Structure formats: structure tokens, C-alpha cells
Amino acid sequence: MKKVYDSATDALDGVLHDGMFIAAGGFGLCGIPELLIAAIRDAGVKDLTVASNNAGVDDFGLGVLLQTKQVKKMISSYVGENAEFMRQYLSGELELEFNPQGTLAERMRAGGAGIPGFYTKTGVGTVIAESKEHKDFDSQTYILERGIFADLSIVKAWKGDAQGNLIYRKTARNFNPNAATCGKICIAEVEELVPVGSLDPDMIHTPGIFVNRIIQGQHEKRIEQRTVRAA
């Protein structure tokens, strides 16, 4: 099976449609699939539901899909860096489902493992628990969270090979490995595409069986909040 494509646009060909559910990897601006996000913007699909830890910033990452109003609903943990996100949410233009970070990561992992739901103590007694099933185990109350089953997963890795095996670096491992598994189709972008067999099997974070398509590209190295010392 051919998995390597020439560009993000080529890799997304025949995959996108209005109203689809997308799981996106990344943490802040680290490890975000920026090329695939830009290609989704250019494709013009709309009414998207996107599950991602955050929504990028106003002009980068998932923020570009908010600028074009292609996103109908976000499932996220942190949205504090995006003024357009805030504006759309407060004006009622954007639906928002807040998830604690660990819960969101586990929802993606559960979906990838075929688990439809799990119980957690996180969020009990808060607005997170509203309208969710409660159940007691050993005299402790838990709430039911549903696994995430997306139409498409988009992730970014440090290295990958033509079979789709992926290695992430550092903070990029926070959500990308879980996001990669929970979509019906997974498309990955990598900084470096290496020959098959050159990756140490013990270092592979996402096995190629989860990845349907892969591209290599040039990526920016943006920092959300740059802090420097006075000269």
C-alpha cells in the first residue's frame, strides 16, 4: 500500500467532507500538523468538529480554521491563546466542549483501543460532570466519559518511514500518539522521512498500522509566549 504522498493537499484528497470529526495532535504550538491544517483550510470544508488540546493561536495552527469559520465545535482543554476563539464562543458562533487534559488524552486513547467509554473521578462535582452518568466504585463517585472516534486523525512527528512508523520528540508526544489511533483514517506529516528499517523498533511511538498516509514537509518553529531577559 502506498502511504507516502507529495503534499498535504494530495494526502487529504478524497478524505475531507463537510461536517466531519477531526482529531488533531499537538500541544500548544508544539507538534501540531500545521501543513495538514493549512490544506484543510484551503479545501474549504466547513461545519467541522475538532478534538485537540488547544486551538492554536489566531494566525497559526487550528486558529486559521477559526479565522475562516470552518469549525462548528471544538473539544479542547485550553483555549487561552486565541482571541478569535474567545470571540466566537462568547458570541455563540462556536460550540465548545471543555475536557480536562488527561481526560481528553484518555478519550482519544480509548477510541483508538475500541473502548466506547470509561469512568474517571476527574470533574466530579464540577460543570464537567453535568448531564454525564455517575457511578460509585468502592464508595467513590466517578463519571462516564466517552471514547473519541473521529473520521480523521491528523498528527505531526519528528521522523517517519514509508510504512508510517512514527517517532515524536518531547512535548509532541503529549497528544499525537493518542490522536493518531482514534481516527478512521490517520494522516501524518513528518520533519524527516527515513528509509524503512532505519528506525529502532523500540523507539517507535506510533506503529505504521495506524497510519494511512504520510508526507514530509518544512515546518515552522513558533513559540507561543516568548520570554527573554533584558540585555
pLDDT of residue 147: 98
Give the span between the Cα atoms of 25 and 118, in whole angstroms.
Answer: 21
The answer to whether 27 and 175 are in contact (CB under 8 A) is yes
**DSSP H stretches of helix in 49-190:** 63-67, 83-90, 101-112, 176-181
pLDDT of residue 79: 81
- 117-120 and 140-146 as β-strands: parallel, antiparallel, unpaired? antiparallel
| Phi, psi dihedral angles at 141 (to 5 degrees) | -95, 135
pLDDT of residue 228: 87
Instruction: Answer whether residue 103 shows pLDDT above 90.
Output: yes
pLDDT of residue 221: 79
Residues listed for the chain: 231
Instruction: Answer whether residue 224 shows pLDDT above 90.
Output: no
SS3 category, 188: strand
Residue 53 sits in a domain whose CATH number is 3.40.1080.10
Q: What is the mean pLDDT of residues 108-134?
A: 97
pLDDT of residue 1: 79
Name the nearest CA neighbour of 175 among 123, 107, 223, 121.
107
Mean pLDDT of the residues in the chain: 95
Q: What is the b/e burial string over 212-225, where b = at least 16 CB atoms within 10 angstroms of the residue's CB?
A: bbbbbbeeeebeee
Residue range(s) defining the domain that contains residue 95:
8-115+147-216
Burial class (CB within 10 angstroms; exposed 0-12, middle 13-18, buried 19+) of 209: exposed
| Phi, psi dihedral angles at 208 (to 5 degrees) | -60, -20
Is residue 141 in a domain? no
Percent of the chain with pLDDT over 70: 100
If one counts the domains in the chain, the total is 1
Instruction: Answer whether residue 92 shows pLDDT above 80.
Output: yes
Burial class (CB within 10 angstroms; exposed 0-12, middle 13-18, buried 19+) of 94: buried
Instruction: Answer whether residue 225 shows pLDDT above 80.
Output: no
Q: What is the mean pLDDT of residues 17-31?
A: 96
Give the start-end residues of each E strand in 26-79.
Answer: 48-51, 71-76
pLDDT of residue 59: 87
The mean-pLDDT minimum among 14-18, 76-80, 170-174 falls in: 76-80
Q: What is the mean pLDDT of residues 198-214?
A: 98
In this structure, what C-alpha cell is assigned to residue 1?
Answer: 500500500
Q: What is the mean pLDDT of residues 217-223?
A: 85
Q: What letter does residue 172 receive in the DSSP assignment?
A: G
pLDDT of residue 220: 85
- The amino acid at residue 165 is N
The answer to whether 108 and 179 are in contact (CB under 8 A) is yes
Instruction: Answer whether residue 227 shows pLDDT above 90.
Output: no
Is residue 136 in a domain? no
Is residue 190 in a domain? yes
Instruction: Answer whether residue 226 shows pLDDT above 90.
Output: no
CA distances to 8, 41, 124 from 190, in Å = 11, 19, 38
Q: What is the mean pLDDT of residues 184-189?
A: 98
pLDDT digits (tens, 9 = 90+) for 73-85: 999 998 877 889 9
pLDDT of residue 162: 97
